[in-house]
Amino acid sequence: MDRAKTTTLTGAEIVVRCLQEEGVEYVFGYPGGAVLFIYDELFKQDKVKHVLVRHEQGAVHAADGYSRSSRKVGVALVTSGPGVTNAVTGIATAYMDSIPLVVITGQVPTQAIGLDAFQECDTVGITRPIVKHNFLVKNVADLASTIKKAFHIAATGRPGPVVVDIPKDVTQHACEFHYPDTVHMRSYNPVRKGHAGQIKKAVQLLLDAERPFVYTGGGVVLSDASVELRELVKQLGFPCTNTLMGLGAYPATDRQFLGMLGMHGTYEANMAMQHCDVLLAIGARFDDRVIGNPAHFAQNPRKIVHIDIDPSSISKRVKVDVPIVGNIPDVLEDLLKLLKGSRGKDISAWWKQIDGWRAKDCLRYDRKSPIIKPQFVLEKLYEVTRGEAFVTSDVGQHQMWAAQFYKFNEPRRWINSGGLGTMGFGLPAAMGVQLANRGATVACVTGESSIQMCLQELSTCKQYRLPIKIINLNNKYMGMVRQWQEFFHGNRYSESYMDALPDFVKLAEGYGHRGVLVDKPGDVEPVLREAFAAKNDLVFLDFITDQKENVYPMVPGGKGITEMILYEDL
């Protein structure tokens, strides 16, 4: 204990010391005037490694991917003004998916704040609605305790990004350094244990259920409750679905798993969601992409138990009968204890009904197509990587197909921007994933439009030798936009066609990587095998896919979840 031993450090030194104290491995960042003193201190040490991105959006997405795949808090560092505004998309992305990040932003010197100084922006004001919390540190004496709080707030309760804005002069000023061991905040004390009485009620409902269904979301992944979830679902013998954010929490290859639900969920998952009599919702939030129209969802009577760490997620869009606020693993453990030995009702009739829905085979597609079908690429990706890859994705059709066709058996393997739906997320997120999991197989599933939104990070991948495999499903369209235009806008493909696409193979080569163009179905598997065998190389695979392929099933916006457009309807 060297608590008594205090040292005088500058603000910049304090920032770096705090990161060391937090055990931060990587900081993803980009320098600039306001953070030069911090960069100077980073230079003088080698505990905290800095990853130089090519755009601040990439820094935050990389920190985000790092966090999602490692359970640790991701850290990004950007300069004031444009550094911050470039980071905003990344911060909002993390906020919507509840990802714990600490984003350190430079600010103009305190005396200059409010005077429209060069590279000044109101960082706290701009980021306020997209952070769990933010701080402006005006006094170096508050710096260490603020950073401590930032890590604490980011990682506890419902996680989320925290911004710490540090004026340049604060990084120059010195004070005694002391990093607190603990944080005490009278206004912030997230609960852990669920209410015992509510848990008892939940158990009764589950045991009396005739058509039970377990619906889980990103909360199960974030709280690492996958083990408890599996035990619960197995013990009860209930069918289970995961949201887009929850994939991998329950093994996709298990018979009790009905696939993802929602706008592009499976027929069986959506039907079971609508027709169940007892719904156990865990770490999910009944959002519009999941239950569609809440009035339609409410047409079928059912009892709902909802477990979530965030009370404001409960009864927000859907009224709930048994709300349980608590940390999911704690609540599930209590549930399991109470369930010990008891068996629920015989639900074989319900399973029979579900198997009937399953028989629709709603993810069917044309396997004899002479043009590469995107679904086929993803099936092969799954096979070639034996389901063990970390898969990041961008946003669009390719994202939905990846979610449908790559069977995630483990949590934290599927990394995508579900809440904000940020095109450009996939590649920088994959960098963070690869750094958190050196030696692991990392694939970035993307589209020719999305990949161009953070393409510059190919350069970062080269610098840090990140052997990501880019699976570009190139349909020359903003496919998801085109699909909506086909379904809902009379085939008027307004500005969704990408003319003058780059030659992605040459582009990859330009950045010092390998690129391969694949345009025949027969080449898909061998090319994938070869690419994934190249353990040290980033390989950019440009798959020329069917331009007219659509994602099925699809629940049109504002419709009920059983009002699906199916492949066979067309």
Positions annotated as catalytic residues are 56, 118-119, 168, 480
Q: Which does 480 bind (CB under 5 to 8 A by kind): other proteins, ligand TPP, none?
A: ligand TPP
Joined tokens for residue 40? 């100077």
Q: Which does 448 bind (CB under 5 to 8 A by kind): ligand TPP, other proteins, none?
A: ligand TPP
Q: What is the DSSP string of 74-142?
A: EEEEE-STHHHHHHHHHHHHHHHTT--EEEEEEE--GGGTTTT-TT---HHHHHGGGSSEEEE--SGGG
DSSP 68-84: HHHSSPEEEEE-STHHH
Report the alpha-carbon angle 35-40-44, nearest 5. Answer: 145
Residue 473 near which of ligand TPP, other proteins, none (CB within 5-8 Å, type-dependent)? ligand TPP
d(CA 445, CA 434): 14
Distance CA 20, CA 118 (A): 31
404 token code pair: 């449908």
Q: Contact between 195 and other proteins (CB under 8 A)?
A: no
Q: Is 153 one of the binding residues for other proteins (CB under 8 A)?
A: yes
Q: Minimum Å distance from CB 146 to other proteins?
A: 11
**Residue 64 contacts ligand TPP per CB under 6 A:** no
398 binds ligand TPP (CB under 6 A): yes
Nearer to other proteins, 157 or 432 (CB): 157
- State residue 247 phi and psi, 5-degree precision: -60, 140
> CA dist 90 to 62, 95, 567, Å?
9, 9, 35
Contact (CB, 8 A) for 242 and 250: yes
**How far is residue 471's CA from residue 539's CA, in Å, rounded to a whole number?**
9
The region of 16-24, 130-138, 350-358, 464-472 touching other proteins under the rule CB under 8 A is: 130-138
Task: Establish if 385 lies at the interface with ligand TPP (CB under 6 A).
Answer: no
| Binding of residue 298 to other proteins (CB under 8 A) | no
Count the site residues for other proteins by CB under 8 A: 17
CA distance 211 to 202: 15
Nearest approach, Cβ of 137 to other proteins (angstroms)? Answer: 11
- Write the DSSP string, 24-41: --EEEE---GGGHHHHHH
Q: Does 397 bind ligand TPP (CB under 6 A)?
A: yes
Residues 441-460 binding ligand TPP (CB under 6 A) are: 447-450
Among the residue ranges 78-86, 310-318, 430-438, 541-549, the one whose residues contact other proteins (CB under 8 A): 310-318
Q: How many CB atoms lie within 10 A of CB 140?
A: 23
C-alpha pair distances (Å), 405 with each of 30, 259, 379 = 36, 10, 6
Taking CB under 6 A as the binding criterion, the range among 139-147, 165-173, 250-258, 475-483 that sits at the site for ligand TPP is 475-483
φ, ψ at 334 (rounded to 5°):
-65, -40
32 close to 193: Cβ distance less than 8 angstroms: no
Selection from ligand TPP, other proteins, none that 398 binds (CB < 5 to 8 A by kind) is ligand TPP
Binding mask 364-403 vs other proteins (x if CB under 8 A, - otherwise)? ----------------------------------------
Query: Residue 316 binds which one of ligand TPP, other proteins, none, with CB within 5 to 8 A depending on kind?
Result: other proteins
408-427: contacts with ligand TPP (CB under 6 A): 421-424
Q: Which of 21, 25, 310, 321 binds other proteins (CB under 8 A)?
A: 310
Q: Which residues pair with 517 in a beta bridge?
A: 542
The residue length of the chain stands at 570
- The yes or no reply on residue 132 touching other proteins (CB under 8 A) is yes
- With CB under 8 A as the contact rule, the residue among 293, 315, 353, 369 that binds other proteins is 315
184 binds other proteins (CB under 8 A): no
Residue 450 interacts with, from ligand TPP, other proteins, none (CB under 5-8 Å by kind)? ligand TPP
Closer Cβ to ligand TPP, 31 or 479, answer by number: 479
Strands 174-177 and 7-10, how do they pair? antiparallel
Site string for other proteins, 160-179 (x = CB under 8 A): --------------------
Establish if 356 lies at the interface with other proteins (CB under 8 A). Answer: no
Task: Give the chain's largest Cα–Cα span.
Answer: 74
Q: Environment class of residue 94 by beta-carbon count within 10 Å: exposed (0-12), middle (13-18) or buried (19+)?
A: buried
Binding residues (CB under 8 A) for other proteins: these are 124-125, 128-129, 132-133, 136, 153, 185-188, 310-312, 315-316
Binding residues (CB under 6 A) for ligand TPP: these are 394-398, 421-424, 447-450, 473, 475, 477-481
